[in-house]
Amino acid sequence: MAEIQWNKERLYKLVQSKLGDSLFIVVSNREPYVHTMSGGKIKCTRPVGGLTEALDPVMRASGGTWVAQGTGDADRKVVDERNRIAVPPEKPEYTLRRVWLTEDEVAGFYLGFANQALWPLCHVTFTPPDFREDWWHTYKKVNKIFADAIMDEIGGRKAVVLVQDYHFALLSGYLKEQNPDLTVGQFWHIPWPAYEVLRTCPWHEEILVGMLGNDLMGFHTRSFCNNFIESVERSLEARTDRESSAIVRQGNTTVVEPFPISVDFDSLSRQAGTKAVENEMENLTREFNLEGKYLGVGMDRMDYTKGIPERLMALDKFLEDNPEYRGKVVFIQAGMPSRTQIDTYQEIGQRIDDLMSGINEKYGTDSWQPVIPMMRQLSRETLNALRRLARFCVVSSLHDGMNLVAKEYVAARVDGDGILILSRFTGAAVEMQDALLINPYAISEFAGKIKEAIEMPEAERRRRMKNMREIVAGNNIYRWGGSMVSRLISIAGV
Ligand code: ADQ
């Protein structure tokens, strides 16, 4: 269990008491509030996701600025002449500053370099990165556009900047070039590869130099931190100290530390126990004829890193090896469409569809289909109902920075039952040792774990779930935000 219990209030108070007169700035590609046109009116929505949940109290307490790309079709209508708007709309407490990108910029920066070069480069899934030079130039250009917007926002004040993710590998370096006195940290939400992989990127040295513009560089796990430090040792002239996890280059120090991201455990547990979720559990049971069946679920952003084909192959093998379970096990695969303009994503979607129909044709009967696809964005109620109904949840990523689906499943199991089948290649596996850990490529072993999950005695299921719930309750999303922000503030010396 974590020594300090972190929650929203604690994080709010920390920022209020420690930040002093520094301006706090968060930067991410995705914005925390989106304005869209709906029935002739402007509607403001908050995208679901842990990141906004965790950083919202930080922003509210600091009264700072969140800089992000404006993507809503009504975003431009509501901002002032400096592209700013006060949020949350019902009770403004901080500023959202929107950055506009052209279609070509989005194509080169986001769909191109970030998602077709850096994403496959950082994940070991044997999908070759595409290092197109024009994408790289656009990526640099967009990082500069963001740097200029941030410098304009800071306007000579003292500031602490927290940059999110792999869309901005060069941003911190650009900021420090303009003002070396800024305090800048970055969190990288995906794995960091081994040097042997990283060096295939023609611009890896420039990327590392950019990231060393940070005073604090955060990854999910110690192993990603070590990969990063080793990449620097083997690419650049720099002094590294494994003991203090610091890198010194040209007189500037970057501290490299793990900050495992998580979920809002209390709020998720609360939501999962509501009447609305219980009603939805009844609806789903009726609609899909789940009464008396063992339900397995998978719920992922549709991405080739998530090991969805491997999971379906394991299910196929399980049904082949265990005919006594035919008719008794149902697997619901929920998939949120993602990055659909990219060919590899269309291909993985097609492959998953083919595998699902293959299994249903092979084993299905008039009254039973082993796999039920729900390939769309689902509501919170439906997701929670599925989590609560499932005897087992499968997270079979081939490689994953953390994986929040695993932690969400545990947080939603207010009844203390349920089994998590979890890939060893996720950051989550470091903490969730009471899951049934798998190598998603080892199909027979994986099929065996599905059987084990179904046959595990209740007392053992509950023992494992209890341990995992304690871990996620302690290492919650506010601990992630709180640890990183307090580290950054202490580095800033404010
Ligand atoms: P992602 O790769 O997007 O994040 P993940 O952490 O698995 O991955 O989060 C996916 C989210 O999508 C979860 O919150 C899940 O509930 C939601 N989701 C899945 N299917 C859905 C559906 N059908 N409808 C609605 N929602 C659905 C990256 C890294 C991860 C890291 C996070 C946070 O790749 O390793 O955990 O950032 O740092």
340 and 485 both lie in a single domain:
no
317 and 465 both lie in a single domain:
yes
Determine how β-strand 246-249 pairs with β-strand 252-258: antiparallel
Here the CATH number for the domain that contains residue 134 is 3.40.50.2000
In a domain, 2, yes or no: no
Residues 6+ apart with CB under 8 A from 121: 129, 193, 197, 198, 200, 201
288 and 239 both lie in a single domain:
no
In a domain, 271, yes or no: yes
425 and 484 both lie in a single domain:
no
Helices 380-389 and 265-272, packing angle to 10 deg: 80
Distance, in Å, from the CA atom of 12 to the CA atom of 20, rounded to the nearest integer, reads: 13
Is the CB of 72 within 6 Å of ligand 1?
no
272 and 123 both lie in a single domain:
no
310 and 344 both lie in a single domain:
yes
270 and 136 both lie in a single domain:
no
Please write the tens of the pLDDT for every residue from 157-186: 999 999 999 999 999 999 999 999 999 999
**Which residues does the chain have with pLDDT short of 50?**
1-2
In a domain, 3, yes or no: no
Is the CB of 262 within 6 Å of ligand 1?
no
Mutate which of 402, 430, 472, 475 for ligand 1 pocket (most atoms within 8 A of beta carbon): 402
22 and 137 both lie in a single domain:
yes
339 and 451 both lie in a single domain:
yes
Is the CB of 301 within 6 Å of ligand 1?
yes
pLDDT of the residue at 4: 78
217 and 335 both lie in a single domain:
no
**In angstroms, what is the C-alpha Rg of the chain?**
23
Burial of 250 (0-12, 13-18, 19+ CB in 10 A): exposed
In a domain, 335, yes or no: yes
Please write the tens of the pLDDT for every residue from 99-154: 999 999 999 999 999 999 999 999 999 999 999 999 999 999 999 999 999 999 99
143 and 161 both lie in a single domain:
yes
Closest protein CA for atom 19 of ligand 1? 300
* CB-based contact 218:186 (threshold 8 Å): yes
57 and 188 both lie in a single domain:
yes
Whether the pTM exceeds 0.85: the reply is yes
Q: Sign of dihedral through CA atoms 347, 349, 353, 355?
A: positive
Give the domain extent around 219: 8-262+477-492
Split into its structural domains, the chain has a count of 2
Please write the tens of the pLDDT for every residue from 363-420: 999 999 999 999 999 999 999 999 999 999 999 999 999 999 999 999 999 999 999 9
